[in-house]
Chains A and B, each alone.
Chain A
């Protein structure tokens, strides 16, 4: 009885952490896409305020004197600090998770290492968040911060799958190939998410203002070598990008090509899960979810271009990317933990 109660508390806390993790990601993308990433020029305080932001005239004046390179914009500062508060709360929740998992460590099936890994990752995210500000939106830091956020959410979800009563499935041995395909699909998604982060970090979302062509051409002027230099030195303000048009075009095109590859590979996975004979119904549902999320994500990506990057669409493109990754990871998890059935057992 005590055991069950302990388990329930852990699951409840994990669910809460999961929701918070998702909120922090969406909030983070909102901060970035509304150009509020440098809303506070310092870290962890905001213009020296440890709580809140400079608001009345005298505070703003002294803040502007202390940070002459960045004049106070109160609404941007608020967006930035709210993201920090949410992220801080997430860190605390993750800490509680670790504490609970250490307390319950003797309980069979209680994961300990994964909660610890999540806490370490969130700590590293705080570091990346700091560098995002102090290195003035250096693209590789911004991209790493995005990937770190997605990794945190993915690990939380994986933890949730492994401790909750997610349906255990049995599949035919002949369907074993789907496992590898699901792993491939997840890998493709991770690469595509990184490319999306790189596109945003370099302000290349509108480098091709038209779709399906780019600058009315199928293969416009591009500079891939320049577009994919990861380290350009520090001390540069990267807000609104530093790259010339051909380099941004190269980045944008790569994300489009990645989208096509992801559509084919993740789409194939989804259709196989959805329609292949002898697939357990739980896995079929995951297939349907991936189909819907994939269609939504492609539509949102095209809408970003066609409608000139409306903020809600851009934020949704980020949120659906996260959900698509989680749905694909669900398939990976179910296939990984599935019991393979020998052909002879099929009729038992």
Chain B
């Protein structure tokens, strides 16, 4: 007992800033923050105030980090069983559950305070709902309950541009919902490509991901169908007049490449191609939002 305690004490004291950073899933959060940032800049025609840019980003970042830490906490038993995640701070023993909980709580409260005091109530509430949606509804319930887990849970992951938008305008506009819709539709092909690759690990830990429950062929078909849907959704910003021809050109090319990947995946049934598709999907989302941004500021350049 005392040895175990000493062991835990020793381990948690050895936890370094790297472990805390790891808890926040920095790469995922960075992508989310980028989309939130684009949401902010697209919300207003001209210059966006520094207040929402700085405090909005900070608040959303802290809340997202907190959600990620709670996810680490909730998934620690599964993580220990999967090769990809077995070296995370909790399963590797670098940190104990209590310090993670405290860390998540502090970040969440800090983020919430910043959003309430310096941004606006709507953004604070929406961010909290997203955090709970991801960390509680998705991680604790949906993930283990249904193969539609990431489809429904994707709603929580798709909110950052909406949060960025409301941080600037204080209200939910159609443009913000469109950005939300892009990520919402993007999540299934993105995640299922990874799930195809990691199917065996998911099966071993009993997570009912689509390839585990319905097989690879069905998953590939769903990936293709969702990518077709995504191609249509990403044309909407042009059709509604929110974005111009530059965005459209970029979106059509990016959609074309995405479709090429998923059709190749569909036809070849190759597993290495699944991970390539997954990597491309990340590049795709970054470039789609970059294109939205470039297209948004291009008219300003012409004026000058």
Contact = CB atoms under 8 A, between A and B. Distances in A.
Interface of A: 212, 271-272, 274-277, 291, 295
Contact of A272 (B248, B256, B260, B267): B267
B248 A275 contact: no
A271 B267 contact: yes
B263 A271 contact: yes
B248 A276 contact: no
Interface in B248-304: 248, 256, 260, 263-264, 267-270
Interface of B: 248, 256, 260, 263-264, 267-270
B269 A271 contact: no
Contacts of B248: 212
A288 to B, nearest CB: 11
B264 A274 contact: yes
A294 to B, nearest CB: 11
Contacts of A274: 264, 267
Contacts of A275: 263-264, 267-268, 270
A219 to B, nearest CB: 14
A214 to B, nearest CB: 14
A277 B256 CA distance: 22
B269 A277 contact: yes
B45 to A, nearest CB: 22
Contacts of B260: 271, 291
A275 B263 CA distance: 9
Smallest CB-CB A-B distances: 9 pairs: A275-B268, A275-B267, A275-B264, A271-B263, A276-B267, A271-B267, A272-B267, A271-B264, A277-B268
Contacts of A277: 268-269
Contacts of B270: 275
A274 B266 CA distance: 12
19 contacts: A212-B248, A271-B260, A271-B263, A271-B264, A271-B267, A272-B267, A274-B264, A274-B267, A275-B263, A275-B264, A275-B267, A275-B268, A275-B270, A276-B267, A276-B268, A277-B268, A277-B269, A291-B260, A295-B256
A291 B269 CA distance: 19
Contacts of A271: 260, 263-264, 267
A13 to B, nearest CB: 40
Given A271-B267, A276-B267, A276-B268, 16 more contacts: A212-B248, A271-B260, A271-B263, A271-B264, A272-B267, A274-B264, A274-B267, A275-B263, A275-B264, A275-B267, A275-B268, A275-B270, A277-B268, A277-B269, A291-B260, A295-B256
